[in-house]
Amino acid sequence: MNTGFSQADLIAIWLTLRIATVTTLVLLIIGSPIALWLARTGSRWKGPVSAVVALPLVLPPTVLGFYLLIIMGPNGPVGELTRALGLGTLPFTFWGLVVASTIYSLPFVVQPIQNAIEALGPRPLEVAATLRAGPWDRFFTIILPLARPGFVTAAILGFAHTVGEFGVILMVGGNIPGVTQVISVQIYDHVEAMEYTAAHWLSGGMVVFSFIILTLVYSFNRRRKSSGGTYGV
């Protein structure tokens, strides 16, 4: 009887952590300017852009994964571009999963950062502008320090959400051991094979991981509230 993680389980865990780490970094780089624009703009495009960012919250993962598979496939616009650049196609690859995970987890990063920036109000940035601080200076010396809880919360939620993905991953990456077989897919394989003990090990690990992540987020925000700081969510 299996009383621990198999070699395949360990490979799936390592692959999941790699994808989640890279995806979180990409999300912070891409999501920060989007969140800043949404928090500061008065444009009529704010509503449609906010809706696009939030789409993964309401779309079934398989629907999102299906369209990403088409777009990044050999006949899709992204697929034709990557093939023209000599990169091949993204589906069923590590980087294909990173792209899919980035899109799927985008609202979990953009919204906490946006909320934190909106909570600052316009005054700090207006004062910095009068002191001739440029956009980069205002971001790194005003926004980043004061909205730090939002960025921390966004990073934690983005990482955790990526770790738990299943539908999008399965649609875009399939189930290739060592390449696209992440924890959630490995659990599915164990259940299909009626290997319930192995599934319990991985599932139990995910439950503990999720509990720790949520505890960290709530504890962090509670400390910020008690100290009168800016909140991330």
pLDDT in tens, 194-213: 999 999 999 998 999 889 88
pLDDT digits (tens, 9 = 90+) for 79-114: 999 999 988 999 999 999 999 999 999 999 999 999
Q: What is the CATH number of the domain that holds 218?
A: 1.10.3720.10
Better-scored residue on pLDDT, 63 or 136: 63
Assess if residue 128 is contained within a domain.
yes
Summarize the confidence of residues 42-69 as an average pLDDT: 92
Assess if residue 73 is contained within a domain.
no
Close Cβ partners of 77 (under 8 Å, ≥ 6 residues apart): 71
- DSSP sequence for 48-114: HHHHHHHHHHHS-HHHHHHHHHHHHSTTSHHHHHHHHTT----TTSHHHHHHHHHHHHHHHHHHHHH
Summarize the confidence of residues 215-223 as an average pLDDT: 77
In the prediction, which pLDDT does 226 show? 64
Assess if residue 62 is contained within a domain.
no
Band the pLDDT of 46: cuts 50, 70, 90.
Answer: very high
Assess if residue 85 is contained within a domain.
no
Assess if residue 74 is contained within a domain.
no
CA 164 to each of CA 42, 108, 174, 176, 199: distance values in angstroms, whole numbers, following the listed order: 35, 13, 16, 17, 14
Band the pLDDT of 183: cuts 50, 70, 90.
Answer: very high
Assess if residue 7 is contained within a domain.
no
Query: DSSP class of residue 132?
Result: T
With pLDDT > 90 as the criterion, what percentage of the chain qualifies? 55
- With a cut of 80, say whether residue 127 has pLDDT above it: no
The total number of structural domains in the chain stands at 1
> What is the residue-averaged pLDDT of the chain?
87
User: What pTM does this model have?
Assistant: 0.85
List the domain range (segments joined by +) for residue 165. Answer: 33-57+98-226
In the prediction, which pLDDT does 133 show? 72
Assess if residue 90 is contained within a domain.
no
Summarize the confidence of residues 121-131 as an average pLDDT: 75
Assess if residue 88 is contained within a domain.
no
